[in-house]
Structure 1
Amino acid sequence: MNRQIEPLLGYNINVISHFLKNIYNEKLSEYGLTSAQAKVIYFLAEHGEQTQSALQNRLYIKASSMNGIIETLLKNACITKDSSSEDKRTKVIRLTKKGEELDQTIWSIIKEIEEEITEGFSEEEERVIVSWLKKIQNNLTEDTKDARE
């Protein structure tokens, strides 16, 4: 029985994910952000105001983790959190001016890191890799949905 982990796809994706998270967190820490907080800012900038639960689902994170991210972004004046006009229990999250400015910085960091990780790849190779990763993501989200039902 072959028990080598290095050739396994999941192991290698996990290692790359670990490296990327460390790189993002190092670069973002200069602005007082984590990669999780940066994702929230990016999604709000890209898609406009969101309910807290919609952000949580979009980012595939637990409610407790989302609460911590939101509280930190609120404390740092990057977002506002208000009750929905339709349902007071629902919280709507919006970017502040500071959050919008940080989004520009975040996007610059994303582009810089993308250049680093795609060095030596052709555009076609990048498209193929992204296509494969999206297939894996779909496989995993389908399995996750099936397990919850």
Structure 2
Amino acid sequence: MVAHLLENQYNEQLAVHGLTVAQSKVLFLLVENGPLSQVELQQYLYIKGSTMTGIIDSLLMKDLVKKADSEVDKRSKIITINEKGRKLDQNLWDNLNGKEYELIEGFSEEEVALFMKWLRRMKNNLLKQKEGAK
């Protein structure tokens, strides 16, 4: 229920900027890692190639990223965030950081640290299950 409510709030905030959660994740990954291939982005997000193509096409139409042929492999496309995308990403994080502070209000530092540890463990368990299913 918490995940659902949180996702709804994030979606409302992103909608103001005309973005989806997936599109915002791509912007974040490009800011954090620099230019990435479409395949690398797809692997980071655990999504299919066709879904990744749609996300990239949307970001290109909004003029938030650039797409170019890889110098190493011409079949591979390299995605780079541009200045407009970088500014939007920063704006999103400024807004979302405020939301995170609201979420942990009333929790001690120890409780937050323990919660984060549990979330990381849950993520690892989910990734193990996913790998085991392949």
Report whether the alignment pairs 1:55 with 2:50.
no
Q: Percent identity?
A: 44
Report whether the alignment pairs 1:95 with 2:81.
yes
Q: How does 1:102-141 map to 2 (within 5 A)?
A: 102-141=88-127
C-alpha distance in 2, partners of 1:20/1:69?
Answer: 22
C-alpha distance in 1, partners of 2:26/2:102?
Answer: 23
Q: List runs of 5+ in structure 1 lacking aligned partners.
A: 1-14
- Per-residue Cα deviation, 1:98-135 (whole angstroms, up to 9, x for no partner): 10111111111220110121111112111111110111
C-alpha distance in 2, partners of 1:61/1:16?
Answer: 23
**TM-score normalised by structure 1 residue count:** 0.85
- Cα pair 1:42 1:106 within 8 Å, conserved: no
Partner secondary structure for residue 80 of structure 2: strand
Deviation at 1:31?
1.2
Question: Number of matched residues?
Answer: 134
- Cα pair 1:78 1:95 within 8 Å, conserved: yes
The letter for the 1-side match of 2:23 is Q
Which residue of structure 2 lines up, in the alignment, with residue 83 of structure 1? 69
- Per-residue Cα deviation, 1:51-76 (whole angstroms, up to 9, x for no partner): 11111111122222211111100000
Counterpart pick for 1:36 among 16, 22, 32: 22
C-alpha distance in 1, partners of 2:109/2:36?
Answer: 33
Deviation at 1:46?
1.0
C-alpha distance in 1, partners of 2:5/2:46?
Answer: 20
Partner secondary structure for residue 77 of structure 1: coil
Compare CA radii of gyration and give the structure with the larger one.
1
Q: List runs of 5+ in structure 2 lacking aligned partners.
A: none
The letter for the 2-side match of 1:81 is K
Which residue of structure 2 lines up, in the alignment, with residue 25 of structure 1? 11
Report whether the alignment pairs 1:66 with 2:52.
yes
